[in-house]
Amino acid sequence: MRKLLFAAAASLILAACGSQPPAPEQTGAKVTDTTQSAVQPGAQTQAVSPDQLDMTSLAALKDPRSILSKRSVFFDFNQYVIKDEYKPLLEAHARFLIANPKMKMLIQGNTDERGSREYNVALGQKRADAVKKTLLLLGVKEAQLESVSLGEEKPRNPGHDEAAWAENRRDDMLYSGEY
Amino acid sequence: MRQTFSRLALTSLAAALLGLSAPAPALAQLSIEITGAGTNRMPIAVADFAGDGIVSQALTTVVRADLEHSGQFSLVDPGTAPLAETAPVSYPDWKTRGADALVTGSVTATPDGRYETRFLLYDVQKEAPLGGQAFISSSAQLRATAHRVSDFIYEKLTGVPGIFSTRIAYVVKSTGRYELQIADADGANAQTALASREPIISPTWSPDGTHLAYVSFEAKKPIVYVHSLATGRRHVAANFKGSNSAPAWSPDGKKLAVVLSKDGGSQMYLVNADGSGVTRLAHSSGIDTEPRFSPDGQWIYFTSDRGGSPQIYRIPAAGGDAERITFQGNYNVTPRISPDGKSMAYIARNDGRFQVALMDLATKQTQILTDSSRDESPSFAPNGRTIIYATEIGGRGVLATVSIDGSVKQTLSVQAADVREPAWGPFVK
C-alpha cells in the first residue's frame, strides 16, 4: 500500500512537471512502449484535452471532458484498498485541491447491504479514510478534507445482486457547495 | 390488526383523493403474524369481564392476544357468559374445559367518566385464587390497562415479569422517507418520534425509557442525537469531524459509548449524554464498533476486525486489555448482552446467511435461533425471554421475535414499507 502511494505521488510529480522523458526513436517495439507511457492516465488529461481545459478551474469539476467530473472510487468486497486504476483520478483531484486551497472535499464511504449496519458504517469509513490518506500523501491539506461514512444506507443501485453490490462499494468525492 | 390497517389505509386514500393532506405518522401500524408457538403452553381461560360489553370485550381481547402471542399459553374457550371477579368459581367445570388457569373480572364506569378494572386469577388445578389487581383508567388508557393485567397473569404463572407494557422503537423506510417510530410491544399505538428524508439507524433506549439515542444522516454524515420522547426535543450528543455512530447507554444513563472517526479509524469513546466530556475508550489499528455495556456496567462488548475478521470482544469499562469472545466463523457482529448478563445475542454469518445466535457467556455454548438469512440488530426484551431483530421476507424488511429457546416466533411488518433497526425498551416504572 505504502509503495503504491509513493508510486502515485511520483507519477503526480511527473504529471505536474509535464515532462515525460523524450521518446527514444529506436525500434518499433520501443515506440509502442513510449506511446503507452505517454497516455498513462495521470498525464493524459493535460496533454490531450482538445481546448486546453484548465484542470484547476471550478468549471472543470462539472465538465464531462474533465477527469475531475469523475467522483467515485470502487472497492472489492470487504476491502478498503484503493485499486491502481483510481490513482490518476485521485492525482487529478489532489492537483485541483492544491490549486484551490479554499475548496473543501467531503469523502463519503459506502458499502453494500450485506452485514451489520453499524459495522458497515465503520467499513465505509475505512474506505473514505483510504481516499483521504491518499490525497494527504499527494499534498492536500488536512483542513480541506473530511472523510465520513454512509455505510450501507445510501445505495446507488437498490438491487440485491453482485452487480448492484459492486456499484455500492464506493467512495464519492463531493466539493464545497455540493453537500 | 390487518383489518385495522386496511381501514386506515382506505381512510388515507380517501383523504388523498379529496385533496386533504393526511397526517403522515399514524398510518404505518405493525401487524403481527405468529410463525411458531411454544411447546409447553399452559391452557388458560380468560372470561369476558362483567360490565359494559363493548369496553370489557375490547380489554379481554387484548389480554388474550398478549397471552397467546407470548407462546407460553394456549387459550381455552371461556364460554359467552361474562364472569365478574366477585362471582363464585366452579373449579370442576373449568377442569372439564381443560383450563389450568382462569381469569375473571369486571370493568365499570366511574362517576367521573373513567373506568375501574378489577380482575382475579385462579389456579384451577389447586382450586385457589392467585391474586388480582384493580386499575382506574381513562378510556384511552384501557389498552394499557389490559397490558398491565397480562403482565400480572404472566408473572404469576411463569415467575418471569411480563413485557406487555413495554414499548419498541424501530425505523420504517418508505419511498424517500425514514421514520423513527415507537409502538407498544404488540405493535399497536405506533407514533413517529422523528421523520427524515435521510437514513436513521441504531436507535437505543435510555435505561429509564425517557430518551432515545440514534444516528441520523440528515446532515449528509452520521451524527449521534439524544431525543426526549416526552418533549420531542433532541440535542446533538456527538458531531465531530468524520463519522459519529453506534451509541450505547451506560447502565446509569449518564454516558454514551459512541464510535467516532475524528482521530482516524472507527474507534470507541465515552461522552456524557449531554454531549460534553469526550474520552477515548480503547485504541486499535482496525475497526472497533457496536459497543454495548454489560448490564452491571463492568464490561463493554464490541465488534472489531483487529484479528482479521469481524469478531466480538470485550474490554473492562474502566479500561484494560481486550478479550476475544467469538471464535467460530469469520463474521460475528452486533453483541447484545441479556438483562441478567449471562448470555449474548449476536449476528453470526453461517454459509453466507446472517442469523441470530445466542451464546451462554459462561460455557461459550452457542445456538443459532433463526432459520432466516438476512438477520440484523437483535435486541432483548427486558425480561430476557425474547429477542426482537430485523430480517427480510420476500425482499421486504420486517421485524421478527424469537424466544431464547428458539420455539416461539412472530413477525411484525408494515404494509408497503421496510421496517428495521428494532430496539426493545425497558420495563415501565
C-alpha grid cell for residue B210? 425517557
Question: Is A144 in CB contact (< 8 Å) with chain B?
Answer: no
Of A124, A146, A154, which has the smallest distance from its Cβ to B199's Cβ? A154
- Is residue A89 assigned to a domain? yes
Of A119, A153, A160, which has the smallest distance from its Cβ to B310's Cβ? A119
Of A114, A124, A179, which has the smallest distance from its Cβ to B220's Cβ? A179
C-alpha distance from B355 to closest chain A C-alpha (Å):
10
Chain A: residue whose CA lies nearest to B201:
A117
Q: Where are the domains of chain B?
A: 40-158, 167-424
Give the integer Cα–Cα distance in Å for B189 and B26: 8
Give the integer Cα–Cα distance in Å for B74 and B37: 9
Give the integer Cα–Cα distance in Å for B298 and B289: 18
Maximum CA extent, chain B: 72
C-alpha distance from B378 to closest chain A C-alpha (Å):
10
pLDDT of A20 = 34
Give φ, ψ of B423 to 5 degrees: -140, 120
Residue to substitute from B261, B304, B351, interface A, most A β-carbons within 10 A: B261
Q: How far is CA B235 from CA A60, A154, B146, B200, in A?
A: 40, 24, 35, 15
How is residue B227 annotated by DSSP? E
Residues of B with Cβ-Cβ distance to A130 under 8 angstroms: none
pLDDT of A99 = 95
Of B202, B264, B265, which has the smallest distance from its Cβ to A118's Cβ? B202
Residue to substitute from B215, B266, B284, B351, interface A, most A β-carbons within 10 A: B266
pLDDT of A52 = 56
Give φ, ψ of B154 to 5 degrees: -60, -45
DSSP state string for B99-122: -SEEEEEEEEE-TTS-EEEEEEEE
Question: Is A65 in CB contact (< 8 Å) with chain B?
Answer: no
Of A119, A123, A154, which has the smallest distance from its Cβ to B290's Cβ? A119
Chain B residues with a Cβ under 8 Å from any Cβ in chain A: 199, 201-202, 215, 217, 220-222, 241-243, 245-246, 259, 261, 264-266, 287-290, 303, 310, 331, 333-334, 347, 349, 354, 376-377, 395, 420-421
Residues of B with Cβ-Cβ distance to A152 under 8 angstroms: none
CATH tag, B167-424: 2.120.10.30
DSSP state string for B257-274: EEEE-TTSSSEEEEEETT
Interface touch A118/B199, C-beta < 8 Å: no
pLDDT of A58 = 84
Question: Domain holding A147: CATH number?
Answer: 3.30.1330.60
Angle between helices A117-137 and A87-99 (to 10 degrees): 70
pLDDT of B7 = 36
Interface touch B243/A149, C-beta < 8 Å: yes
Interface touch A116/B290, C-beta < 8 Å: yes
Please report the ipTM that was assigned to this predicted complex.
0.90
Interface touch A125/B242, C-beta < 8 Å: yes
Give the integer Cα–Cα distance in Å for A102 and A100: 5
- Is residue A115 assigned to a domain? yes
Interface touch B215/A121, C-beta < 8 Å: yes
Q: Which amino acid is at B218?
A: E
Chain B: residue whose CA lies nearest to A107:
B242
Angle between helices B53-69 and B142-158 (to 10 degrees): 40
Residues of B with Cβ-Cβ distance to A150 under 8 angstroms: 199, 217, 221-222
- Is residue A132 assigned to a domain? yes
pLDDT of B14 = 34
Where do we find the cell 482516524? B264
pLDDT of A16 = 35
Give the integer Cα–Cα distance in Å for B423 and B429: 18
- Is residue A28 assigned to a domain? no
Residues of chain B with pLDDT under 70: 1-28, 429
Interface touch A115/B354, C-beta < 8 Å: yes
Give the integer Cα–Cα distance in Å for B95 and B138: 36
Of B266, B333, B421, which has the smallest distance from its Cβ to A115's Cβ? B333
Residues of A with Cβ-Cβ distance to B257 under 8 angstroms: none
Print the domain residue range for A60. Answer: 51-175
Q: SS3 of B401, please? A: strand
pLDDT of A55 = 74
Give the integer Cα–Cα distance in Å for B389 and B356: 8
Interface touch B303/A119, C-beta < 8 Å: yes
Question: Is A6 in CB contact (< 8 Å) with chain B?
Answer: no
Interface touch A122/B289, C-beta < 8 Å: yes
Chain B: residue whose CA lies nearest to A142:
B241
Q: What are the DSSP E strand ranges found in chain A? A: 72-74, 105-110, 145-151, 170-175
Interface touch A117/B202, C-beta < 8 Å: yes
Residue to substitute from B180, B221, B347, B392, interface A, most A β-carbons within 10 A: B221
**Number of domains, chain A:** 1
- Is residue A15 assigned to a domain? no
Question: Is A114 in CB contact (< 8 Å) with chain B?
Answer: yes
pLDDT of A138 = 97
pLDDT tens string for chain A (179 positions)? 444 444 444 343 333 333 333 333 333 333 333 333 333 444 334 444 445 567 778 888 999 999 999 999 999 988 899 999 999 999 999 999 999 999 999 999 999 999 999 999 999 999 999 999 999 999 999 999 999 999 999 999 999 999 999 999 999 999 998 98
Residues of A with Cβ-Cβ distance to B261 under 8 angstroms: 125, 129, 147-149
Interface touch B264/A129, C-beta < 8 Å: yes
pLDDT of B339 = 98
Radius of gyration of chain A, Cα coordinates, nearest whole angstrom? 18
Top-level class of domain B40-158: alpha beta
Interface touch B349/A154, C-beta < 8 Å: no
**Residue B122, beta-bridge partner list:** B102, B129
pLDDT of B8 = 37
The reported pTM is 0.86
DSSP state string for B346-400: EEEEETTEEEEEEEETTT--EEE----SB-EEEEE-TTSSEEEEEEEETTEEEEE
